[in-house]
Amino acid sequence: MDKAGCMAPYGLEMRPSGCPLGLECLTQTDLLLINQKVKLTEVLLRWEANNKYLVKNSLGQQVFFVAEENECCNRYCCGPLRSFVLHIQDNGGQEVLRLTRPLRCSSCFYPCCLQELEVQSPTGTPIGYVVQTWHPFLPKYTIQNEMKQDVLKIVGPCFSCKCCSDVNFEVLSLDEKESVGRISKQWTGFLSEAFTDADNFGIKFPLDLDVKLKAVLLGACFLIDFMFFEK
C-alpha cells in the first residue's frame, strides 16, 4: 500500500474480484472528499478554465486527480450546460476512470432531454450511468449499473441555495425509503463563494457498497457540481 492509501496496481491478487483496475482504494473507504482547485485566472480575470479536482479519502490522503478536457469555445458558449470529458487519474498519473457528459438542456419544462453522465473505464467500457429524473421542483437522479439497470436514487433539496450552509443530496434506495449515503456541497465562506466557483464536496456511502457504484456516485458529484454550482 502506498502513502496515499491506495493499493499498488501491480499484482492482480491484490485487486478484489470484480473491482476495476485502479479503483482498489475505493474498497477501503466510506467517504470521499472532493476539492476543486482554485484557478487564479478565474479569480483575477473571470476567465473560465477547465476544472481540476483533488479527491481524498477519509484520512485526507489524495487518491485521485481529476481534469476536465474541453475547448474554450464550448466552455464560454455553453457554460455549465457544456458537454465534457473528465479524466480521473491515480497518484501515478494513470487514468482509472473517464466521465463523459453530452450536451443537454437543463429545464424542468423539457423532460425529453435531461442530463446524463456515463462512467467508463479508460478503454471506454461502461461502468455505470447517472441519469436525471424529471421532477418539477426537486433535482433527482437515478444511478444505473453498466447494464443500465436502476440501482439507486439521488434526491436534492427544493432550492439549491449556496448561502451560508451545506447543500445535501441524499442517496436513497430505489423506493426512496432508505438512506444509503449522501453527497454534500460544503459551504466554503463568503469570499470563496463570491469570487470563485471552486467547490468542496463530500460523498458518504456504505463501506461494502459495490466499487463500481462508488465510482458512479463520484461521477454524480461532478454532474451535480456542473449543474448547480458552476458559474
Quick one: average pLDDT of 38-65? 77
Instruction: Decide if 160 contacts 183 (C-beta within 8 A).
Output: no
* Residue 202 pLDDT class (50, 70, 90 cuts): very high
Cell of 85: 470529458
Q: Where is average pLDDT lowest: 26-35, 91-100, 104-113, 165-174?
A: 104-113
Under 8 Å between Cβ of 43 and 35: no
Neighbours of 228 (CB within 10 A): 19
Instruction: List 179's β-bridge partners, or say none.
Output: 172
pTM above 0.85, yes or no: no
Instruction: State residue 50's pLDDT score.
Output: 79
Instruction: Tell whether the model's pLDDT for residue 114 goes beyond 60.
Output: yes
Spatial separation of the C-alpha atoms in residues 72 and 91, rounded to whole Å:
27
Compute how many other C-beta atoms are within 10 angstroms of the C-beta atom of residue 13: 5
Residue-averaged pLDDT of the chain: 81
pLDDT interval class at 192 (50, 70, 90): very low
Q: How far is CA 98 from CA 75, 111, 128, 150, 186, in A?
A: 19, 26, 11, 20, 24
Supply the DSSP string of 88-116, one letter for each residue.
EE-TTS-EEEEEEE------TT-TTS--E
Reported as a pLDDT band with limits 50, 70 and 90, residue 81 is low
For the cut 60, the answer to whether the pLDDT of residue 116 exceeds it is yes
Task: Give residue 3's pLDDT band: very low, low, confident or very high (50, 70, 90).
Answer: very low
- The distance in angstroms from the start CA to the end CA of the chain is 39
Is the Cβ–Cβ distance between 37 and 55 less than 8 Å?
A: no
| Per-position DSSP letters for the chain, written without gaps between them | --TTSPPPSS-GGGSPTTPPTT-GGGGG-SEEEEEEPP-HHHHHH------EEEEE-TTS-EEEEEEEE--HHHHHHHGGG--EEEEEE-TTS-EEEEEEE------TT-TTS--EEEEE-TTS-EEEEEEEEP-SSS-EEEEEETT--EEEEEE--SS---SSS-EEEEEE-TTS-SEEEEEEEEP--HHHHHH----EEEEE--TTS-HHHHHHHHHHHHHHIIIII--
- Is the pLDDT at 194 greater than 50? The verdict is no
For the chain, domains (ranges, CATH) are 12-229 (2.40.160.200)
Measured in whole angstroms, the distance separating CA 116 from the mean position of its chain's CA atoms is 12
Query: Which pLDDT band holds residue 66 (cuts at 50, 70, 90)?
Result: very high
